[in-house]
Chain A
Amino acid sequence: PVHRLDGPTGGLVLVAKTRAALRLASAAFAAREVRKRYRAVVWGRLAAGGVVDIPLDGKPASTGYSPLRWHPMEPSGGRDAGVGTGERGAGSLEGNRWTGTRGAAPGSALAVTVLDLAPVTGRTHQLRRHLALMGHPIVGDPKYTSGYAAQRALALGDPAAEEGWRAGGGQTVAPGAIAGATPHLPTGLHLWSVGLGLRHPITSEPLTLQLDEPPEADAAPAPKGKAKPAGKKQKETKLGMRATKDGDFSEWYSQVVIESEMISHYDVSGCYILRPWAYAIWDEIKNWFDAEIKKLGVQNAYFPLFITEEALTTEKDHVEGFAAEVAWVTKSGSSDLDRPLAIRPTSETVMYPFYRDWIRSHRDLPLRLNQWTNVVRWEFKHPTPFIRSREFLWQEGHTAFATRGEADAEVHTILDLYAAIYQDLLAVPVVRGVKSSKEKFAGALYTTTVEAFIPHTGRGIQGGTSHCLGQNFSKMFNIEFETEDGTRAHAWQNSWGFTTRSIGVMIMTHGDDRGVVIPPRVCAVQVVLIPIPSTKLGEEARAAMAARAAEIEAALKTAGLRVRVDDRDNYTPGWKYNYWELRGVPLRLELGPKDMEAGVAMLARRDTGAKESVAWADVAARVPQLLDTIQSDMLAKAKATLDTCIEQVTTWEGFMAALERKHAVLAPWCDEESVEEDVKRRSAGKDGENKDAREATMGAKTLCIPLEQPELPEGTMCFASGKPAKNWALWGRSY
């Protein structure tokens, strides 16, 4: 590269192909023989152009600017909103160094202006600093927005801004506050290098290099009634999302959970806030599963969060499995506790001492309890929202039976319910199976699991587990009862848990480049109704449209659906489409002027984008049908993908090749723990330099031994050890 752009700045960069060209072109830059043009979106309305020549770092600096267009904004501009509004009229900094004219925009409290910039000098962060000094900081510039802008406001003596600034403690606004304050603009610095004018370093012929305007520069909603240029629609839909699912999956996931307002990050690493949009899904899962287990006779209860050290260490295998990730309360107020208390990572050891007291006779059995709680596991592995967090929500069921047969039956009943949550509610296909002895729950007799698979990362993910604990815990905790014939026996126990991780699996499975896609059964809003009042419409026609929207809303609510009408008047319909697509609402109902004439409404599916026109009278019947179709289509699509991601092989070479293709592998196995360890070691790549590389080449393990087994002909050998195979195991890299 001949020159450089600041880190967050995007756009055109000149790259030389030969050393000679590099040298000559660099010289041209140094001699300021190159004309540079930038495009920026800044806060406030600027009506006329000019030049800023405020010295920076003690050196002369000069920037020319001319406004191209401006957009009124919804005033959610945040704490600095009052600063860049351009309402204060013309003003000048000491010495009248800049000559900009403030265009007052009465009635429009907040606006952004798209500027063409022509810097003459090239001081560090010159454009960003100059614009901030003018009181028009660049959108998405955390570094120079707050301090300068606030100071600028003070310099101009705006009493309101001054009051706000002082009330905030007289401090500069936290970095990122402005970026976060503009949900309707893409994040990141709104500054792009768009043009270079120079002479060809060898031939000396004049060169003008130019980029089209970046799509983001136009992401602000256009003034009402003005139609969007046709070609731009696609780009505009990127609202909020910058990464693509296929391009950078992990970045895509991080963005999509934030932008869809499901998660907020928090000051404690590995802990996340579940915002209402995500919690509503958990509520749906909870309501469904809670009702199902109550039908089985399971009752809810609540056991304390704290576990004493003695209780935690009662079952040896169990404590080994969890000891490394326990968080300890060591103080109350300012005094140290005599004995630290563990925060439950799971509640076997809290509950079972009570089970010992409550279970005396066979008549006290079965005892089937469940609780909905938070648990804390202080892990140091890379945290991922929903998928791996230090605190998560779950249900944990703990049951005790007189016989193994009853315990076995319940393990599978619960596993089926877990599979149903995934498949019927979340539209995520799962494989039911039994964990290998290496992978089973610490202290269990055996563990059953539902396993999902994330094609983009090629990793399996444990979706929920139902354990038969056998008599391991009842022996440790002395849970004994008198049988019908008067002898004493230990109870057979199960435990089973399902967590908020499932929401993450759902997002990873269905999301796309526009945002999350939520299956109708769990989405807080199943249908969003967007009236499209054109400016040409008269009062009466608008009122008729609003009334029609309300009627349709009522009809859909009567049909038992979760409906929202988005009649906010400060956003364009297009912006609303993006907003609800980002959030994954399954069905959008549009009601435009032409629809009003024809007596129809347009239905648009989030999962496929398919549209259809429906007569008003048929909406209440058609929408539930369509939601059912969406629900089953989403599952079918995910199932088809999963099927292509599971390869059945019989040889080591086939196994490695499948892993290489980011697939899960069904392979005949001798079911020996040492072989599983060996496979894990042999299938791991060399240590990658970064996390992503390490994860991509981590060793494979058994995800489960599927309950549905392909035929295993006599004499089939284990793909890894060459010993006689005992079953087909599903292998893969995993979360």
Chain B
Amino acid sequence: MVIRPYGYALWERLQSWLDAALKEHGVQNAYFPQLIPMSFFEREAEHVEGFAPELAIVTRGGGKELEEPLALRPTSETIINSMFAKWVQSHRDLPMRLNQWANVHRWEMRTRPFVRTLEFLWQEGHTAHATPEEARAEAMAMLEVYREFAVTQAAMPVIAGRKSRIEQFAGANATFTIEAMMRDGRALQAGTTHDLGDNFSRAFGTQFSDAGGRLRHAHQASFGMSTRMVGGVVMSHGDDTGLRLPPRMAPLQVVLVPVAARGAAAAAVLAAVDAALVALRATGVRAQADVGTEKSPGWKFSHWEMKGVPLRIEIGPRDVASGTCAIARRDRPGKEGKEFGVPLAPELLVQEVLKRLDEVQAELLERATRFRDEHILDVSSHSQFLEVIEQGKWARGWWAGSDEQEVALKEESGATLRCFPLEQPGGGGTCFLTGKPADQVALFAKAY
């Protein structure tokens, strides 16, 4: 998959927000090699089992057969732990928090742009801590960072939860996830954090001397968010006309289009467009004017609607005369979203634009939340569960099933256990499948 500039710009929005958030948390960026000796994977038994079938393997380089085959990283726990084993010596070295922005490869058979690709871009954070509690807290803290990004920036009302044993990361003690609902009702795992316990530190011998001089294994966390999130934005908000981008993510927040200007009036219109553009950019609004003459305004409207630009400002000769313009909101189609007579004076226009950008951001989230809540149904029996899944919705119910029953349910319905939401109703209930007493509620859905 080639990520073209418009898609990459969305990724850059995510990058700059997340990079700042991670640095704020004390995470430092580094870069680890892409090629990892096969023997590294074999050190952690569950890890190799989980990833071996998906590895892309280099066996030849510079015209020679390699002595040991090298895998393209599918994730970097192994190589980073081989270094943690050297760098972590004392309790004073902890916590150690590293992150890298990198490409990773997983040999997937069924691919889908952004959501499931053979190569994808991501950040992967890897941390080492003195105690199991700190590693767990780190995994939870990063989950909250991801959740905050999804909700406040991408306007995606994700549900944060813990993965089941079947679905957790190969080599982790526990995996946490934010699950997003796409417009077709499918679930998208939009970011995961892992409490790795001391599994990798034991496999790689990452030990430190504690304050009393005793040797301890480090406890670790890892966490990643990828270009999949870009797919999540597209599938959370898009409609039949095209993309609908939340203003905080949109590479372009406002497009200015001059309307029906000929002759002498054209110059005045273009001047007004230009003045508005300058004023908007000066306040940090990502704006662009589409002033070309070869396409009609109507063509331009559709073009920018397809691209999901949140606001369109139309300026015509009559607007210039009356000192006004029209603003159309992408999230409300047709006349309903278009307002005439908005003041054109720069300082007033900027206020109008900023206000609307906030409104669009909030309404996209609200709408997606409503959609989500309408599509999650509580189930209390197996047949109800099947019915809900059949309707393309998410099923929520008390769960006390075994791993085998979870797998069987997936084979029967196509739905997987997405997570045990962190927010639980409390108390206890009866498992919808087994009828046994259950102490937590699980969410099931078909997923990407």
- A residues bordering B, Cβ < 8 Å? 74-79, 81-82, 85, 87, 109-110, 160-161, 163-164, 167-169, 174, 180-181, 183, 264, 266-268, 271-276, 279-280, 282-283, 299-306, 323-334, 340-341, 343, 354, 363, 369, 373-374, 376, 378-380, 390-391, 393, 568, 570
Contact = CB atoms under 8 A, between A and B. Distances in A.
A273 B85 CA distance: 14
B60 A267 contact: no
A76 B93 contact: yes
A332 B56 contact: yes
B334 interface: no
A281 to B, nearest CB: 11
A79 B207 contact: yes
Given A164-B214, A268-B70, A333-B55, 7 more contacts: A266-B82, A273-B33, A276-B28, A300-B9, A303-B3, A304-B118, A343-B58
A302 B35 contact: no
B429 interface: no
A273 B102 CA distance: 13
Given A160-B215, A327-B61, A354-B2, A273 B31 contact: yes
B31 A274 contact: yes
A391 B86 contact: no
Interface of B: 1-5, 8-9, 11-12, 28-37, 40, 52-63, 69-70, 72, 79, 82-83, 86-87, 89-93, 98, 102-103, 105, 107, 118-119, 121, 202, 205, 207, 209, 211-217, 294
Contacts, number: 198
B67 to A, nearest CB: 10
Given A169-B205, A273-B30, A300-B12, A324 B63 contact: yes
Contacts of B103: 305, 373-374
Nearest to A341: B56
A52 B305 CA distance: 86
A304 B202 contact: no
10 contacts: A109-B213, A169-B205, A268-B35, A273-B30, A301-B2, A301-B8, A305-B72, A306-B119, A324-B63, A326-B61
A329 B29 contact: no
A167 to B, nearest CB: 7
Given A325-B62, A326-B62, A328-B59, A168 B205 contact: yes
A380 B63 CA distance: 10
A280 B8 contact: no
A373 B104 CA distance: 12
Given A280-B29, A304-B119, A168 B207 contact: yes
Interface SS of chain A = mixed
A213 to B, nearest CB: 27
Given A279-B30, A330-B60, A374 B102 contact: yes
Contacts of A390: 61
Contact of B33 (A180, A266, A334): A266
A185 to B, nearest CB: 12
B217 A167 contact: yes
Contact of B59 (A330, A379, A393): A330
Given A77-B90, A168-B207, A340 B213 contact: no
Contacts of A110: 209, 213
A304 B90 contact: no
Report the 10 A-B pairs with minimum CB-CB distance, sorted nearest first.
Answer: A76-B90, A164-B215, A378-B61, A109-B213, A299-B5, A378-B62, A276-B28, A81-B209, A271-B33, A327-B61
A166 to B, nearest CB: 11
A311 B363 CA distance: 46
B58 A299 contact: no
A75 B31 contact: no
A38 B160 CA distance: 64
Given A82-B209, A274-B30, A302-B8, A324 B62 contact: yes
A479 B253 CA distance: 32
Contact of A268 (B30, B33, B207, B216): B33
A328 B92 contact: no
Contacts of B70: 268
Contacts of B1: 304
